[in-house]
Amino acid sequence: MGSAPSAAAPSVTPQPDAARESGTARGAPALTAAGLVLLRDLTLAFRRRGELLQPLAFFAIVTTLFPLAVSPELSRLREIAPGVLWVAALLAALLALEFLFRDDAHDGTLEQYSLSGQSLAWLLLAKTAAHWLLTGLPLALIAPFAAESLGVSTGLAGVVASVAVGTVCLSLIGSISAALTLGIRRSGVLLSLLTLPLSLPVLIFGARATELAIRGLPYTAPLELLAALAVLGVTLAPLAAAAAVRISLE
């Protein structure tokens, strides 16, 4: 295929149109871009509240079933409360993961993100933040009520804190596995299999922090370990997720 050699071809980048010039030169700042991604996901979620409530309903149902199944005796319930809360929170968070990137992969949004000239990892971090705001944060906020139903009435601040920080880790770990399973139809089971082993440290430290908080003991040590995991996740998970998304787009 030949090409027409053009004499004095103008350089392509400068655009004569003055109004358009400012846009090409700079592009949107990364913070604005991330803000828009976040806002967009929140807007979308509120247009479809049903999906939003699913994990919360699951969490509420599981935690209220335990008193019925185990024993109404408060001392026994209090004993198992941290484990019940955390297993339910972990499974609820897993349930929500499937929606993290799926729709955006189908309709070409992820493709546009990866072609936007912005860092894909940064935009995915914004998406993951939106996901946490829509699932992790609400879970943390209803956790004290679930704890009450298990006979726990002390250390509720610790319960909220540990679930809040723990779900940050879960959303970030989940973003990697959700991105890895994008190309696969009916990826639910695989997604859980990938996420669960990686989330075991979160489960262990989270349940420990919750247990200590309920007993009225200092719980900052496991909580800080959770926070350290969250920081590690914020730094590394988006990079891994972006690499996985790029592969799925091929």
Q: How far apart are CA 24 and CA 26, in angstroms?
A: 6
C-alpha separations of 86 from 19, 59, 208 in Å: 55, 10, 10
- DSSP of 148-160: HHTT--S-HHHHH
- Which of residues 27 and 183 has its CB atom nearest to other proteins in the complex? 27
Neighbours of 196 (CB within 10 A): 15
Cβ contacts of 174 within 8 Å, gap of 6 or more: 93, 94, 97, 100, 131, 191, 195
User: CB neighbours (10 Å) of residue 227?
Assistant: 17
3-state secondary structure of 11: coil
Q: Which of 42, 44, 62, 156 binds other proteins (CB under 8 A)?
A: 44
Using CB under 8 A as the binding rule, whether residue 12 contacts other proteins is answered as: yes
**Contact status: 183 vs other proteins (CB under 8 A):** no
Select the span of 39-47, 60-68, 92-100, 234-242 touching other proteins (CB under 8 A).
39-47
Q: Does 37 bind other proteins (CB under 8 A)?
A: yes
Stretch binding other proteins (CB under 8 A), from 40-48, 151-159, 184-192, 207-215: 40-48
- In angstroms, the Cα distances linking 57 to 5, 23, 50 are 65, 45, 10
Give the shortest CB-7-to-other proteins separation in angstroms. Answer: 9
DSSP code of residue 132: I
Q: Which of 86, 39, 38 is nearest to 62 (CA)?
A: 86
* Contact flag: residue 250 with other proteins (CB under 8 A): yes
Instruction: Determine how many CB atoms are found less than 10 A away from the CB of residue 22.
Output: 9
If binding is defined by CB under 8 A, does position 32 make contact with other proteins? yes
List the interface residues with other proteins, window 59-118 (CB under 8 A): 103, 107-109, 111-118
Which residue number, 1 or 69, has a Cβ lying nearer to other proteins? 1
Q: How far is the CB of 75 from other proteins (least distance, A)?
A: 48
Q: Which stretch binds other proteins (CB under 8 A): 35-43, 52-60, 91-99, 142-150?
A: 35-43
Query: Which region, judged by CB under 8 A, interacts with other proteins, from 4-12, 68-76, 87-95, 216-224?
Result: 4-12
Give the residue from 125, 116, 63, 118 showing the smallest Cα distance to 90. Answer: 63
Kindly determine how many residues on this chain lie close enough to bind other proteins according to the rule CB under 8 A.
49
Q: Summarize as ranges the residues that interact with other proteins (CB under 8 A).
A: 1-6, 9-17, 20-24, 26-28, 32-33, 36-37, 39-40, 43-44, 47-48, 103, 107-109, 111-119, 123, 249-250
